[in-house]
Every structure is written in structure tokens, then in C-alpha cells.
Amino acid sequence: MKVILQVEVKNLGSPGQIVEVADGYARNYLIPRGLVVEATKSNLKKLEEEKRKSELQEKHERENAQQLIHKIEGLTLQLLRKASEDNKLFGSVTAQDLAEALNQQGIDIDKRKIELAEPIKSLGEFLVPIRLHREITTNLKVLVNVETPEKETEKKTTPRSAGRRKKKTSPEKES
């Protein structure tokens, strides 16, 4: 019996493939579980329609990825973080931080597309790969600098005695 695979089936193939299987295997196992559909004329037409739609969607996604590449290639993302004297960050720069910074630049990228092997934990310049499409990857230049501390003169200090209450003495214990 010829069937069209709906999902990947071990030792048979991937979705959309037309394969020949034993009648009993198809009727008793594959079809009841929704793994395949019988290869009739109407099902073959649906398969061709789905292939055309997926090709158009693939083309559209690839074009969007190419547009994003042009935006990202010339961009240097500068992040300011607090760091110790030996250039180690207090905390780290994660894919989430990069995605938020890109979003502020007007580039909407999901954090899962940013392929940061491990969080950035030091100051410096880094190239971070971004997979925009399964076939298209680009590098984002990230510059992590130290955040300048606020001026201490602007901070208001209060004297130690401010805010303390004086103890009340009871007038009854006068001798």
C-alpha cells in the first residue's frame, strides 16, 4: 500500500514522502496513530499544495533573513556593565540581554536565534553568531564596556542622628 508520511517514522522516512508499506502495517499501526495517510489522488493534491506553500514560506523567510543581515553586519552593539578592576563583569551578558539591546535598535530577533555558547563575563569586543535562518548565519559585533559610576557628590547623605527618636522619660520617677 502506498502511503504519505505525516511525521518522521523510524526506518521509513520524513514527512511528505510517499512510501510503500505492507497493507497490515499501514491499516493496523500507521493510519490509526495518524503517522500516515493513504496515497489517494485527493491526498496527493493536498501534498502538492502544502509543498508549494512551504516553498513560498521558505522563500519569504530567506528574504527576511537577508534583510536582517544587512542591518546587523554594520552594527556594533555597545553594552555598559559594572565590572571589577580586573575586567570581570559583575553578572554576565546573556542572549536575552543581546536580544533586548537589538530590539532597542529596531531589530526584532528571538533570543533563541542568538548562538551564545556561554554568557559573556568580561569586558571587551566579541563576535556573536546569530542564526537568522537554518542556512543563514551572521556575526554581531558586541562591545562590552565598563559602566561609569555616578558622581558621589550627587548622592545625599544624612547625618547619623537624623531619623532617631529621643527617648521619652517618664515624669513619675523624679526624686
On average, the pLDDT of the chain sits at 85
Q: What is the pLDDT of residue 125?
A: 93
Domain 2-68: which CATH number of 3.40.50.880, 3.30.360.10, 3.40.5.10, 2.160.10.10: 3.40.5.10
Q: Would you state the pLDDT for residue 152?
A: 44
How sure is the predictor about 170, in pLDDT bands with cuts at 50, 70 and 90? low
What percentage of the chain has pLDDT greater than the value 90?
Answer: 53
Total Cβ atoms within 10 A of residue 175: 2
Which CATH number is correct for 74-150, 3.30.2030.30, 3.40.50.300, 3.10.430.100, 3.90.1150.10? 3.10.430.100
pLDDT score of 153: 39
State in Å, rounded, how far the first CA of the chain is from the last one. Answer: 113
Determine the Cα–Cα distance for residues 171 and 122; give it in Å rounded to an integer: 64
Q: Are 26 and 36 in contact (CB under 8 A)?
A: yes
Each residue of 84-138: pLDDT tens digit? 888 888 889 999 999 999 999 888 899 999 999 899 999 999 999 999 888 889 9
| pLDDT of the residue at 38 | 93
pLDDT given at position 70: 87
| pLDDT tens digits, one per residue of 35-83 | 999 999 999 999 999 889 989 999 999 998 898 888 888 889 999 999 8
pLDDT in tens, 2-11: 999 999 988 8
Q: What's residue 164's pLDDT?
A: 58
> What burial class does residue 92 get, using C-beta atoms within 10 Å of its C-beta: 0-12 exposed, 13-18 middle, 19+ buried?
middle
